[in-house]
Amino acid sequence: MQTRTLPSRHLAGVEVRLDPSVLVLAALVAWAFTGVFRAEHSLGVALLLAAVGAVLVVLTTLAHELGHALEARHRGMEVEAITLLLFGGVTEMHADGQTARDELAVAAVGPWISLVCAAGFGLLATFADDLFPATVAASLGQLAGVLGWWNLLLAVFNLVPGAPLDGGRVLRALLWMVTGDRLRALRVSVRAGQLIGILLVGLGAATLVRAGAQAALVAAAFAVSGVFLVRAASSELRQAELSAVLEGRRVVDLVATPPPEVQGSASLPWPPTPAGDGAPAGSSEVPGVELTDDLHTLIEAFQGDHDVVRIVRAGRTIGTLTEAEVARAIARLRRGEPLP
């Protein structure tokens, strides 16, 4: 089931989703920028510059993610969507057929775009007096300078060599090239990401102890970022290990003996699935999979409100699989046990 997002838009053919938490990101950036601009401007001007800066931070984050998406699509990968959220952005893509060289290019392009943005804002800040009217040149120059530093820090942070950051993907791609083992390379980048996350949590705790309440927000940012990195890296490893288990297997592998075709109006023993009005859903509303479909397709069929799917052959239902049955089968595969 998809995470609830704000109304989505399409940009360059890619769906862009806004998680509600991106509003928190914008608010935090605006609050931080207000403190920066307040030293040299009135409160009204500082608030205006901070608001513009917050919008541009979100837009440059979008540019970073759009770089990933367009490079992935250029290399033949299917891009589902970009989601902007509190911790930046996520580009969802299907990497079937991806090579180590593809992964390296897709991972590196995001930080490269952030560096380009940093350079662009830096030039605007440097030549603000020549580019803008004298009445606003100082203010816009300061805004451009702040955004330049922001994008530079974004690029540097993303290049830290630990999953799920772009630097972790670069590390994984390079190790994959050297070892030829993608899963092994991923495990190394995940361990690096978990270590970096733990260090950030420790840095947050040390900051709070040494600087006290005045640095509480900075300490919290370090700690929350660290926890996010540890959890996201661990999740990425679980997903990769699951993909390795499912690789090459199909629905027919979960069925000991392919069931006979159901004739006419014969009924099938699946649990009733409630429809939106609470009424049981009929077989036409229950997702179906072919015996030849891969297990990724089978798992995706359970992402709605159903806990059962139909097994279909030549357009006719020949049996069912429940979510619990599939979970038990995958657990056996994870343990290296043969399917019954």
SS3 159: coil
Instruction: Return the structure tokens found at 135.
Output: 């009445």
Mean pLDDT of the residues in the chain = 85
Residue 165 burial (10 A CB sphere; 0-12, 13-18, 19+):
buried
- Residue where the block lists tokens 């049981």: 280
Residues 107-131 have pLDDT tens digits of 999 999 999 999 999 999 999 999 9
> How would you list the strands of the sheet with 316-322, edge to edge?
288-290, 308-313, 316-322
Q: What is the DSSP string of 64-78?
A: HHHHHHHHHHHTTPE
∠93-95-101 over CA atoms, to 5°? 120
Q: Which domains are present in the chain?
A: 6-246 (no CATH), 251-334 (3.90.1280)
Q: What is the pLDDT of residue 279?
A: 37
What digits encode the pLDDT tens for the residues 165-198?
A: 999 999 999 999 999 998 899 999 999 999 999 9
What is the CB neighbour count within 10 angstroms for residue 5? 17
Active-site positions?
65
| pTM of the entire predicted model | 0.79
Q: How many CB atoms lie within 10 A of CB 75?
A: 17
